[in-house]
Amino acid sequence: MRKMFGKFIGDKAFYRMVLAVALPIMMQNFITNLVSMLDNLMVGALGTEQMSGVSIVNQLIFIFNLAVFGAFGGVGIFTAQFHGKGDAEGIRHTLRYKFVLAAGLFAAALAVFLTQGDSLIGLFLHDVDATGDIIATLGFAREYLAVMLFGLLPFALSQVFTSTLRETGDTVLPMVTSIIAVVTNCVFNYLLIFGRLGFPALGVVGAAAATVLSRYVELAVVLAVVFLRRRKCAFFSGVFRGFRIPGELVWQITVKGMPLLVNELFWSVGMSLLSMGYSLHGLSVVAGYSISSTVTNLFSIAFMSLGISIGIIIGRELGAGRFERAVDWDWKLIAFSVAVSLAVGGVLFAGAELIPALYNTNDLSKTYAAYFIRVSACLMPVHAFANSAYFTLRSGGKTVITFFFDGAFAVCIQVPAVFLADLCGLSIWWVFPLVQGLDIIKDVLGFVLLKKRAWVQNIVA
């Protein structure tokens, strides 16, 4: 029994090391999601149509954001292992690769949103319960999207720097820049949505303008701090000198990283299609799902941040060739993540009805929101284990496996399930828990893959 517990529980020094990495990420994500919830509340105060329109566009912007995270995450596998190896020039090469990706993803997203924006928004509009105005919702979504496009490029560029800092062990600076950005967003949301302190009352346009402003503020702060700390962060020096990336490394990153980019695209598209599937049950479900997602995301940051920490810590150990310690620490990190999710899920379940009651929306939307929150709370340990397995596999460069484990699973299993359930006439009360509970399959697959230890490898040796 003691031996078994020793496999999953570390000593005080272990948890101090983990929390030193994880807490800044948690704090950053907590503040970001808290402000997101406050934003959601402020937009929700305008009405159901405004909140639904903003929620739909954010589902579309979410695809771009995750494409950026996925693309940089694939490159970040190499950054973390170059850092473990002590190779500053290797980190510079990965930085250059990220800049190229940022430009390409921005151009592609801009082209799609400018030419297909209305069509994409229309896919989410189904007023089967007669509780909302479809035309008004479309109008608010258009207005919001038109302004949000100006924030795509600064977001991508900020992530180039902050992702590299996290991968090289500095999680504090990204946290600080994120805090500054989200506070800016929150303050100007209040001023521009409702017209306070002499500012015009712009409604959903004001919400978008505040978000875009916060993106530029974040980028400016990141650039200023990186410039001031250029000597300490030696890998930032000379990044633009010649802008050369060795062809062999480009090929390696592309082979390892492209599946991760495709995975994030598939997963984000899958999540948007799930939202679209839920929207077939009416605008009240769209509003309720928007509320529940915002609340659940706030509580999920604990295990999500620990998952990111697994990628950083285990990637560093693999890059340094400390394979057995990587395996030992990984099981302890996974156990810690699941334990934390159990505690957080209990708190979320108990308070499921508190936050929806604050919204200016119809009672049906609030009822849906509380139900979705409770289901998500019960499944939080399931999601925590799947998330930990995903980041473990990714840290060892198993990006093709993670594609099938994550993105392909969402598109090929969960999405068909939600539309099949609708065709069978199941109500949203059954559809939501059935679809969300499919992550149990991922837990089983993840456990088998972790036990096989195929992820235990150094890809920058």
| pLDDT number for residue 416 | 92
Residues 6 or more apart whose Cβ sits within 8 Å of residue 143:
53, 203, 204, 205, 208
Count: domains in the chain:
1
Q: How far apart are CA 41 and CA 22, in angstroms?
A: 28
- Domain that residue 445 falls in: 2-452
Instruction: Determine the Cα–Cα distance for residues 204 and 416; give it in Å rounded to an integer.
Output: 33
Decide if 73 is inside a domain.
yes
The answer to the question of residue 460 being in a domain is no
Domain contains 201: yes
Residue with the two structure tokens 């849906």: 368
Q: What is the pTM of this model?
A: 0.70
Q: Which three-class secondary structure state does DSSP give residue 245? A: coil
Q: What is the pLDDT of residue 128?
A: 57
Round to whole Å and give the CA distance between 362 and 51: 12
CB 408 within 8 A of CB 264: no
- Would you call 14 exposed, middle or buried from its count of C-beta atoms within 10 A (0-12, 13-18, 19+)? middle
- In a domain, residue 457? The reply is no
Residue 458 domain-assigned? no
pLDDT of residue 35: 66
Report the distance separating Cα 236 and Cα 254, nearest Å. Answer: 22
| Residue 181 contacts residue 215 (beta carbons within 8 Å) | yes
Sign of CA dihedral 50, 55, 60, 66: positive
Q: Residue 428: inside a domain, yes or no?
A: yes
> Is 459 among the domain residues?
no
Question: What string of pLDDT tens digits covers the 461 residues of the chain?
Answer: 555 556 777 778 888 888 888 887 787 677 766 766 677 677 777 877 887 788 788 878 878 887 887 788 778 778 877 877 777 777 778 888 888 889 999 999 999 999 988 888 887 776 655 555 778 888 888 999 999 999 999 999 998 888 888 877 777 778 788 888 888 988 998 899 989 988 988 988 998 999 899 999 999 998 888 777 766 666 666 666 766 777 777 787 777 777 767 777 787 778 878 888 888 888 788 788 888 888 888 888 888 888 888 888 888 788 777 888 888 888 889 999 999 999 999 999 998 888 888 777 778 888 999 999 999 999 999 999 999 998 888 777 777 787 788 888 888 899 999 989 888 888 999 999 999 999 999 999 989 988 888 787 776 65
